[in-house]
Protein backbone atom coordinates (compact mmCIF):
# COMPACT_ATOMS: atom_id res chain seq x y z
CA UNK A 1 0.00 0.00 0.00
CA UNK A 2 2.81 2.38 0.92
CA UNK A 3 4.42 1.68 -2.46
CA UNK A 4 1.24 2.58 -4.36
CA UNK A 5 1.02 5.90 -2.49
CA UNK A 6 4.63 6.72 -3.39
CA UNK A 7 4.02 5.86 -7.05
CA UNK A 8 0.87 7.98 -7.19
CA UNK A 9 2.63 10.90 -5.47
CA UNK A 10 5.50 10.65 -7.95
CA UNK A 11 3.05 10.58 -10.90
CA UNK A 12 1.20 13.54 -9.38
CA UNK A 13 4.47 15.50 -9.14
CA UNK A 14 5.28 14.68 -12.76
CA UNK A 15 1.87 15.98 -13.82
CA UNK A 16 2.41 19.18 -11.84
CA UNK A 17 5.73 19.66 -13.62
CA UNK A 18 3.98 19.13 -16.96
CA UNK A 19 1.48 21.86 -16.03
CA UNK A 20 4.35 24.22 -15.16
CA UNK A 21 6.09 23.41 -18.44
CA UNK A 22 2.90 23.85 -20.48
CA UNK A 23 2.21 27.17 -18.75
CA UNK A 24 5.77 28.35 -19.48
CA UNK A 25 5.38 27.34 -23.15
CA UNK A 26 2.02 29.12 -23.30
CA UNK A 27 3.44 32.32 -21.80
CA UNK A 28 6.43 32.22 -24.13
CA UNK A 29 4.23 31.71 -27.19
CA UNK A 30 1.75 34.39 -26.04
CA UNK A 31 4.61 36.90 -25.69
CA UNK A 32 5.99 35.96 -29.10
CA UNK A 33 2.57 36.38 -30.74
CA UNK A 34 1.93 39.69 -28.94
CA UNK A 35 5.31 40.95 -30.17
CA UNK A 36 4.31 40.09 -33.75
CA UNK A 37 0.91 41.78 -33.28
CA UNK A 38 2.61 44.89 -31.88
CA UNK A 39 4.92 45.07 -34.90
CA UNK A 40 1.90 44.83 -37.23
CA UNK A 41 0.10 47.54 -35.21
CA UNK A 42 3.13 49.85 -35.47
CA UNK A 43 3.33 49.23 -39.22
CA UNK A 44 -0.41 49.88 -39.66
CA UNK A 45 -0.10 53.10 -37.65
CA UNK A 46 2.76 54.26 -39.87
CA UNK A 47 0.79 53.40 -43.02
CA UNK A 48 -2.28 55.25 -41.70
CA UNK A 49 -0.15 58.26 -40.75
CA UNK A 50 1.47 58.29 -44.20
CA UNK A 51 -1.85 57.82 -46.05
CA UNK A 52 -3.88 60.30 -43.99
CA UNK A 53 -3.32 63.29 -46.34
CA UNK A 54 -4.48 61.15 -49.29
CA UNK A 55 -7.59 59.62 -47.71
CA UNK A 56 -11.02 60.81 -48.81
CA UNK A 57 -12.40 62.99 -46.00
CA UNK A 58 -16.00 62.09 -46.86
CA UNK A 59 -15.80 58.32 -46.46
CA UNK A 60 -12.70 58.27 -44.20
CA UNK A 61 -11.04 55.77 -46.52
CA UNK A 62 -13.83 53.20 -46.51
CA UNK A 63 -14.88 53.94 -50.10
CA UNK A 64 -18.55 54.04 -49.14
CA UNK A 65 -20.91 56.46 -47.43
CA UNK A 66 -24.19 55.75 -45.67
CA UNK A 67 -27.26 57.44 -47.06
CA UNK A 68 -30.93 57.38 -46.18
CA UNK A 69 -33.31 56.24 -48.90
CA UNK A 70 -36.90 57.42 -49.37
CA UNK A 71 -38.20 54.68 -47.08
CA UNK A 72 -35.86 55.85 -44.30
CA UNK A 73 -33.58 52.84 -44.53
CA UNK A 74 -29.82 53.34 -44.43
CA UNK A 75 -27.71 51.98 -47.25
CA UNK A 76 -24.07 52.27 -48.25
CA UNK A 77 -23.18 53.71 -51.63
CA UNK A 78 -19.85 54.34 -53.33
CA UNK A 79 -21.00 57.14 -55.64
CA UNK A 80 -19.52 60.26 -54.13
CA UNK A 81 -16.49 62.45 -54.48
CA UNK A 82 -13.89 59.68 -54.45
CA UNK A 83 -16.12 57.28 -56.43
CA UNK A 84 -15.34 54.44 -54.05
CA UNK A 85 -11.58 54.69 -54.42
CA UNK A 86 -11.28 55.97 -50.80
CA UNK A 87 -8.64 58.44 -52.01
CA UNK A 88 -8.84 62.21 -51.75
CA UNK A 89 -9.75 63.52 -55.18
CA UNK A 90 -9.20 67.05 -56.33
CA UNK A 91 -12.62 68.49 -57.13
CA UNK A 92 -11.12 70.83 -59.71
CA UNK A 93 -11.88 74.48 -60.16
Sites of contact with Zn ion (CB under 5 A): 56, 58-59, 82
Q: What is the DSSP string of 51-88?
A: HGGGB-TTTTTSS-EEEE-TTS-EEEE--STTTTS-B-
Residue number with CB closer to Zn ion (15 or 89):
89
Distance between CA atoms of residues 31 and 23, nearest Å: 12
Q: How far is the CB of 61 from Zn ion (least distance, A)?
A: 7
Q: How far is the CB of 47 from Zn ion (least distance, A)?
A: 18
Cβ-based burial of 69 (10 A; exposed 0-12, middle 13-18, buried ≥19): exposed
Residue number with CB closer to Zn ion (53 or 72):
53
Residue number with CB closer to Zn ion (44 or 82):
82
Q: How far is the CB of 88 from Zn ion (least distance, A)?
A: 8
Amino acid sequence: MNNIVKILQAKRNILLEEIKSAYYDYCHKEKMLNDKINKIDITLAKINEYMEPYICPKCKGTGVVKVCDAAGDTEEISYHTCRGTSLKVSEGK
